[in-house]
Amino acid sequence: MQRAIYLIGVAQFEGVITLPLLQIVFLQPDFAQWRSALGDALASENTLDSALEKFTLVFSSQNAVFALQNAGISLRGKRGFVVGKSTRHAFVKAGGIVLGMPENATGDCLAALICAAKPAQPILYCKARESFRDIVGILRNEGIAANEIVVYESIPNPQNFAPPPHDSIIIFGAPSSYKNFVLRFGWQPSYHAIAIGKSTFASLSQEAQQNAQIAPKPSFQACVTLAKKLTKT
């Protein structure tokens, strides 16, 4: 019997069972938080739209783009760096101008790209509430003016799901996905984990790491390709 492949997230692939254990919540703008992030750029007479024109935006997820749109903030003409193809697509569709995208879709590579570009405008990193790479810290250490704003968060999906059966291959796209999976189902030694990147692999327990691999590229497609190879061995 062929091993089942589960993907913890919302992406859909043929031959893969998707478990959306988390759901995305877009946050409405909190003026105090935005004032702290934008400083003098957000004067009392300025809107968020006009204030953001004074910043170079950074997106490590398409969800951050969607969150700003959901809050009624226009991204048309705004300039920014994006982590990968799906984020680039969302930003361009919203009218944004992409200044750069790293070859590998990781936070470290995104930060390195920005450091090399040395943008003239200060950076505003639009992010999830829980993140596992301090992009702003990296930029500041390189002398780049940067701040961040939380625009969305992941919360547990209240829907009930059956746990993957014995010997399943399980794909994790973020540390939060693994954390939520273990809280719901625990971890069976027969499971085989595939992590989308190094930070996700590092979040796995030592037990899980003993039977886990990092995808050759930081994408769900690369994870699925690896998982399907494992079903044949």
Residues whose CB is less than 8 angstroms from the CB of residue 33 and which lie 6 or more positions away in sequence, other chains included: 149, 150
Which band of pLDDT confidence, cut at 50, 70 and 90, is reported for residue 195? Answer: very high
DSSP state of 125: E
For 38, the enclosing helix (H) or strand (E) is helix 31-38
Full DSSP string of 191-208: -EEEESSHHHHHHS-HHH
pLDDT of residue 45 exceeding 80, the answer is no
Q: What is the pLDDT of residue 46?
A: 73
Average pLDDT over residues 113-127: 95
Q: What is the pLDDT of residue 77?
A: 96
DSSP state of 42: S
Predicted structure pTM score: 0.86
Which band of pLDDT confidence, cut at 50, 70 and 90, is reported for residue 104? Answer: confident
Q: What is the pLDDT of residue 29?
A: 86
Which band of pLDDT confidence, cut at 50, 70 and 90, is reported for residue 23? Answer: very high
Helix axes 62-70, 85-93, angle to 10 degrees: 20
Structure tokens at 51: 């204030």
**Nearest C-alpha neighbor of 132 from the set 231, 204, 29, 25:** 204
